[in-house]
Amino acid sequence: MHDYGAPIGWRLALRTPGRVTAIVSQNGNGYSEGFVSSFWEGLFAYAAMPGPDTEPAVRAALTEDGVRWQYLHGAADPTLVSPDTWLHDLALLNRPGNDEIQLKLFRDYPSNVDLYPKVQEYFRASQVPLLAVWGAGDGIFGPDGARAFRRDLREAEVHLLPAGHFALETHLDAVTGYVRGFLGRVLE
């Protein structure tokens, strides 16, 4: 799971914990640690009090500069990231009405954080195998989010790469190698 996919994955795991045999998280938080304040302060302020004073900060994430930043920030070699990635995302974000959907998701994001204690309880009880492959330079979910898994999952495997939020864009082979090795060991 990654980013918005993490809260979805946590909800699925909590609903049917016995069906989850392993978890792979690529920059998908399950702890408050790792939230990079320069990104999240504006979003949490908007979620707490949506309005004309707080909305511009979150709308900035939906602009071309904001989307490009998500792909390039923290990448050791930004030339490896194809402009097609953020331009495609931007085209999808610019569909009529999608901005309002994104704003609604931003307003609801604290409900994901509220779920974290149950997720952590699930980790402690299940000791589900978990691999966290993280872009160490992510300006959204920093590396402390990856390290935090070790607090509740004794055998959590954590790898930090010289990448940003979208580590697959610059480190596909490394991520693939970690995932294959991890799944090969835990799903014997």
Q: To 10 degrees, the CA torsion angle through 156, 12, 14, 110? A: 90
CB atoms within 10 A of CB 123: 22
Average pLDDT over residues 132-156: 97
Mean pLDDT, to the nearest integer, of 61-70? 96
Q: What residue ranges in 60-156 does DSSP mark as E strands?
A: 130-135
Domains and CATH numbers, the chain: 5-186 (3.40.50.1820)
Mean pLDDT within 87-95: 96
What is the predicted pLDDT for the residue at 188? 77
Output the pTM of the full model.
0.94
Please check the confidence at residue 146 and state whether its pLDDT lies above 90.
Answer: yes
Q: pLDDT for 161-186, tens place per residue?
A: 999 999 999 999 999 999 999 999 99
73 catalytically annotated: no
HSE at residue 181, side-chain half, CA atoms within 13 A, is 12
Q: Of 73, 159, 165, 171, which residue is the catalytic one? A: 165
One-character DSSP codes across 47-58 = HHS-STTTHHHH
